[in-house]
């Protein structure tokens, strides 16, 4: 039974922080489902906002938390608990060389703050480029290079921050391509940066899949060109793999699939399995340069023992349960089901993504590709009413995109149930729009 006093407290005492707000409170989570205070079981096709990579409350995560409760939850930041070096000992089996050294912090925003600061110290520069549609966090530096959402009300951006157009062949930001990106957006973007640069380049930060910007998968060769652009200007390449690392694309890191090694990699969501854990990873050479230049990132919760123990449990579970292979199998199956929906509904303009990170773009007309924001809002709400939680990415000047990312442990039955709800939500949504 729902507790009206708790609901009242949530309504009156909690700051509203944007994004989706659900009408109920939630009492438990397990695998691919969450349960609310009305007893409803709801499929979670966001994986807890991408964090519950191996499913909510996986037994391995619970065991790691219990062990940490017995040995140590938090320590002074200068004290390195035994649990903290264990993930770095495991990570070399996963990481592309020469990436090796890790800084463990709490959130993706923090890991990107550290990455940007490290790049500035290592290069001596301060100019940073990001891609349109990017999302790197909400803190000062990470938020300044995030372009997926409304930036009004935050004041002037820090000096040195630049944006280049994102590679979106479905909605080309420079009105050049249609369905096949030829990277004109990158060439134009770099020329514009060169015109504006004050001669202090530091880094380009990019997501291998531009998730919040509409689940955009850059074309083959894009990151090779981005790598060349960095090298030509003495800049470091930062990959923000918050949503793509540790199996979501069916590989250990997106960098493996791209064949491009960044200078710095930030990881978060998919590493912590639901516990706040993120890391900034780099090479010996860059760590040494940054250290000698005075790099510091001394926070209250750097190198905490509990999240580090959980991170190791996540890595071991992905290996033990063969979740890389499962992400490919389930991702291919889910994509085929979504493409079958596309054949039945003209309002589905595009199905895209990789592994278990997929996007479905809703349009009013397939030829003109006008975004169907109204249908996106209606269907997302209807999905929740029918027992499915998933995310809609709406940008006024771009598209209305369902972002679908179930846990790597999701079953075919759960995928079938989720797709059936998506189907029903489209039918009901189209009827509602027609009646309006």
| DSSP-based three-state secondary structure for 102 | strand
Query: What is each CA distance from 298 to 76, 103, 294, 388, in whole angstroms?
Result: 11, 10, 12, 40
Distance separating alpha carbons of residues 397 and 147, to the nearest angstrom: 12
Which are the contacts of 413, defined by CB distance < 8 A and separation ≥ 6? Answer: none
| Helix (H) / strand (E) containing 61 | helix 59-71
User: Among all residues, which ones are annotated catalytic?
Assistant: 135, 207, 240, 243, 269, 403
Report H helices in 14-96: 59-71, 86-90
Distance separating alpha carbons of residues 112 and 409, to the nearest angstrom: 28
First to last CA, the chain: 35
Report H helices in 214-372: 222-233, 254-258, 269-272, 284-293, 305-320, 323-344
Which are the contacts of 77, defined by CB distance < 8 A and separation ≥ 6? Answer: 298, 299, 300, 301, 302, 303
DSSP state of 371: B
Look at the block and give the residue holding tokens 């993504």.
353
């Amino acid at each position: 039974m729902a507790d009206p006093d708790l609901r009242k407290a949530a309504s009156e005492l909690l700051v509203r922080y944007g994004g989706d707000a659900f009408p109920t409170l939630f009492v438990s989570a397990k695998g691919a489902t969450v349960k609310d205070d009305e007893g409803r079981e709801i499929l979670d096709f966001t994986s807890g906002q991408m964090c519950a990579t191996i499913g909510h409350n996986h037994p391995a995560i619970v065991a790691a938390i219990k062990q940490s409760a017995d040995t140590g939850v938090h320590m002074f930041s200068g004290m390195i608990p035994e649990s903290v070096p264990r993930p770095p000992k495991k990570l070399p089996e996963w990481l592309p060389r020469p990436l090796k050294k890790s800084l463990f912090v709490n959130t993706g925003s923090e890991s990107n703050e550290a990455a940007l600061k490290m790049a500035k110290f290592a290069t001596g520069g301060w100019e940073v480029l990001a891609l349109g549609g990017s999302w790197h966090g909400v803190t000062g530096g990470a938020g300044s290079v995030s372009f997926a959402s409304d930036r009004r009300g935050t004041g002037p951006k820090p000096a040195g921050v630049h944006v280049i157009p994102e590679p979106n062949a479905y909605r080309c930001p420079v009105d050049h391509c249609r369905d096949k990106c030829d990277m004109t957006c990158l060439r134009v973007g770099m020329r514009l940066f060169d015109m504006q640069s004050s001669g202090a380049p530091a880094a380009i930060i990019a997501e291998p899949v531009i998730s919040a910007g509409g689940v955009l998968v850059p074309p083959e060769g894009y990151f090779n060109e981005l790598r060349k652009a960095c090298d030509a200007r003495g800049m470091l390449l930062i990959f923000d793999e918050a949503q793509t690392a540790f199996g979501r694309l069916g590989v250990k890191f997106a960098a493996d699939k791209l064949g491009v090694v960044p200078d710095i990699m930030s990881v978060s969501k998919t590493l912590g399995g639901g516990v706040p854990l993120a890391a900034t990873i780099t090479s010996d050479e860059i760590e040494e340069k940054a250290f000698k230049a005075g790099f510091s990132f001394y926070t209250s919760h750097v190198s905490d023992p509990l999240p580090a123990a959980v991170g190791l449990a996540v890595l071991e579970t992905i290996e033990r349960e063969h979740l890389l292979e499962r992400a490919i199998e389930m991702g291919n199956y889910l994509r085929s089901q979504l493409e079958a929906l596309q054949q039945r509904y003209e309002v589905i303009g595009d199905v895209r993504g990789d592994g278990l990170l997929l996007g479905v773009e809703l349009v009013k007309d397939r030829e003109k590709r006008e975004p169907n924001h109204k249908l996106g809002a209606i269907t997302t709400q209807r999905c929740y009413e029918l027992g499915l939680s998933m995310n809609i990415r709406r940008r006024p000047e771009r598209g209305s995109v369902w972002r679908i990312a179930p846990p790597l442990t999701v079953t075919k039955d759960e995928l079938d149930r989720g797709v059936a709800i998506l189907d029903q939500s489209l039918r009901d949504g189209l009827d509602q729009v027609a009646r309006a």
